[in-house]
Amino acid sequence: MALLQSFETEEPLTQAMRRHRIQLQLCSDHKAVLSPQSQCPFVTLEDAVRHLLPFHTCAGRLPSQRDFSSVDEQFEAASVFLFNRTKDMQNKYRQLLLAEAQQESPSAEMVMLERLFLQSERFALGEERRKARRDPGDSLQS
């Protein structure tokens, strides 16, 4: 906990200082992996984490240029697929709007939407009338 408090009171780190600290930690982890202390058992959970964590930081390998290229190709393929699908959906929506605009009689969906709109407007008008009947002076002020 004292280590955490010392980090909180320090000045903000520059990029070079961060890079240096990370490099130092990686070097110490590398040394711990190359010369492990396996004679004594772990005493606490913190002790186990402190001794085993360096193995996790050194376990992987750095990605190669081929790995980056592969990921870029996969990203490109997924992006093109999603872009084309989005464009197709937009075109279909535009065609539906155009077809609906060219109809002489409104579609069943439009009739239903208009009925719902009129019903909500009638309800709102009825509410305003009831308020006006209850308190005629209040409705004139607003």
- Running along the chain, 142 residues long, what does each successive block of 10 average in pLDDT? 53 85 87 81 87 79 89 97 98 92 81 95 96 79 58
Domain count, the chain: 3
- Residues 116, 141, single domain; the answer is yes
* pTM of the entire predicted model: 0.39
How many Å is the Cα radius of gyration of the chain? Answer: 34
DSSP H/E element including 13: none
26: number of Cβ within 10 Å: 13
- Residues 130, 97, single domain; the answer is no
Domain annotation covers residue 25: yes
Give the structural domain span for 25: 14-57
- Residues 80, 96, single domain; the answer is yes
- Residues 118, 142, single domain; the answer is yes
pLDDT at site 105:
80
CA distances to 3, 25, 75 from 9, rounded to whole Å, are: 10, 20, 42
